[in-house]
Amino acid sequence: MAVIQARNPRTGKQDYEFVAADAGTVSHAVANARTAQRDWYRKGLDHRVQALTSWAKALEARADAITAALADDTGRTRISREELGAVIHFIHGYSDAAPEVLAQPFRKFSNNSDVVFKTTLIPYPVVGVISPWNFPLVLSFIDAIPALLAGAAVVIKPSEVTPRFVVPLQESINDVPELKGVITLLQGAAETGQALLSTVDAIVFTGSVATGRKIAVAAAERFIPAFLELGGKDPAVVLAGSDIERAATSILRSALYNTGQVCYAIERVYVDDSIHDAFVQELARQAQTLRRSLSAGDGGHYGPFIHAPQGDIVRAQLQDAVAKGARVVTGGTVETVDGAVWLDPTIVVDVNHSMDLMTQETFGPVVPVMRFTSEDEAAHLANDTIYGLSGAVFGPDTHTAGDFATRMEAGGVSINDTELQRGMMFDGEKTAFKFSGMGGSRYGSTSILRYVRKRALIANEGGIKPLDELSESV
Ligand code: NAD
């Protein structure tokens, strides 16, 4: 059995280890989930809502242990508390939405009023969830909760980089007997994920494009649906006449949240030539007011990298950019201090699309800024990417910025702010464009419907067609 060590992002020490679930363990867990799912679905939506509501209470009761473990996993405390709050919010929000989304009324055929039909929603029995390390808890459950409400059981494999939260979380699940076998967490790395893919009935994956492609291929081999939530390289476009201070604050906040380790972080900025220099100056001024968070609750604004290899990726991108003529305005040095890997807010100018920094996902606190001289050029640059997760446009007013937003090839565009899609959760839908994902909207209450198949039950309440219908004669 493989033992996996986990590094603490604040100390650099490998201070935690766990045994990875092997193929036999995965297969056994999925078989148990398949059995538990029958009752979970048969007992109906009210039962599922009640069980999940009890779980929300158990999560609250065990909040300290869960958030402490998550803080050890990720090196940040406030966001760990936000993650737990978000999962509780998902439970209540999706539970409220589920009755309407899952309603199955009888209808009549439009061309034959004798025929009545009902579309019944049949969940995939076991949905596998594979999640990344940047928001270990939220991304393990953002899709699992709608799947559970749909009537599926879930088997979740969180990232091996951030495993500590799994034990206290499992204890909260154990507090609710109705969830036995319905929610299963399995620890492991790629091999455990592959084993999961070979047995579940549908898969939701959040992670990199490279792994997402492997998941999609493996799922296609088995003809199971794969819902992929992948990487991004979100652009922000700042048009002439924008409020420079507002744009700088919003872009910096997005680029630095979770030390930039966010799929929809703003990772490249295009600014109208007329305000480029003033914008960069303001961005640098604001960046210099931010400081490292060296311990929980110290008021600092950003932590170390969660996953040390990410620091190497960001360093290589910065070196590539500088070698090709970019200039670092603030920050720029990835350094290890007492085992933790840090990068201070880094603003880079004189960048172009020959640089990895402008085309590859960075996942660090870096804001590269490029000037443009026409809106056509800005639209071309914003869309010159394999990604299409989301983006932002700043302009003198909603109308002007909104017009430009319609030219952006992305699943969500915030206008005169960034990351507004985060608050959209149950209210609206968005899909990822291009390589940023596939498989319907994770946002909006209809995401519950990603986890069902549709079976039509059709009754003829009138006479049946005679055998003469078979006759060739007219
Ligand atoms: P990753 O692709 O390396 O790993 C993600 C998960 O896949 C992990 O649990 C890992 O163990 C598992 N895995 C790796 N290889 C596998 C295989 N061959 N078969 C099955 N499972 C396998 O991603 P990461 O580095 O953990 O996370 C960062 C990435 O996630 C970034 O690209 C980021 O943009 C993306 N992300 C996307 C979203 C979104 O909502 N679109 C949200 C957060 C993160």
DSSP string, 86-143: HHHHHHHHHHHHHHHHT---EEEETTEEEEEEEEEEEE-SEEEEE--SSSTTHHHHTT
Residues whose beta carbon lies within 6 Å of some atom of ligand 1: 130-134, 139, 157, 159-160, 189-190, 193-194, 197, 206-208, 211, 214-215, 229-232, 263, 361, 389, 437
Within the chain, all domains assigned CATH 3.40.309.10 are found at 234-423
Q: What is the pLDDT of residue 472?
A: 86
Active-site residue among 83, 178, 221, 229?
229
Which amino acid type is present at position 165? F
pLDDT of residue 474: 58
Cα 84 to ligand 1 centroid, rounded to whole Å? 20
For ligand 1, pick from 204, 211, 386 the residue to mutate: most ligand atoms within 8 Å of CB: 211
Cross-strand pairs, 127: 154, 202
Query: What is the distance in A from the centroid of ligand 1 to the CA of 145?
Result: 19
Q: Whose CA is nearest to atom 28 of ligand 1?
A: 207
Catalytic site residue 229? yes
Angstrom distance (rounded) from CA 440 to CA 411: 11
- Cβ-contact 365, 346 below 8 angstroms: yes
DSSP per residue, 37-85:
HHHHHHTHHHHHHHHHHHHHHHHHHTHHHHHHHHHHHHS-SHHHHHHHH
Q: What is the pLDDT of residue 424?
A: 83
- Local confidence pLDDT in tens for the 474 residues of the chain: 799 999 999 999 999 999 999 999 999 999 999 999 999 999 999 999 999 999 999 999 999 999 999 999 999 999 999 999 999 999 999 999 999 999 998 999 999 899 999 999 999 999 999 999 999 999 999 999 999 999 999 999 999 999 999 999 999 999 999 999 999 999 999 999 999 999 999 999 999 999 999 999 999 999 999 999 999 999 999 999 999 999 999 999 999 999 999 999 999 999 999 999 999 999 999 999 999 999 988 999 999 999 999 999 999 999 999 999 999 999 999 999 999 999 999 999 999 999 999 999 999 999 999 999 999 999 999 999 999 999 999 999 999 999 999 999 999 999 999 999 988 887 889 999 999 999 999 999 999 999 999 999 999 999 999 999 899 875
CA atoms of 35 and 140, how far apart (whole Å): 22
pTM for this one? 0.97
Q: How far apart are CA 255 and CA 366, in angstroms?
A: 7
Delimiting residues of CATH 3.40.605.10 domain(s) in the chain: 3-230+436-459
Contact (CB, 8 A) for 130 and 155: no
DSSP designation for 230:
-
CATH number given to 3-230+436-459 = 3.40.605.10
| Structure-token match 């170390």, residue found | 304
pLDDT of residue 423: 84
CA 207–ligand 1 middle distance (angstroms)? 2
Q: Which CATH number applies to 234-423?
A: 3.40.309.10
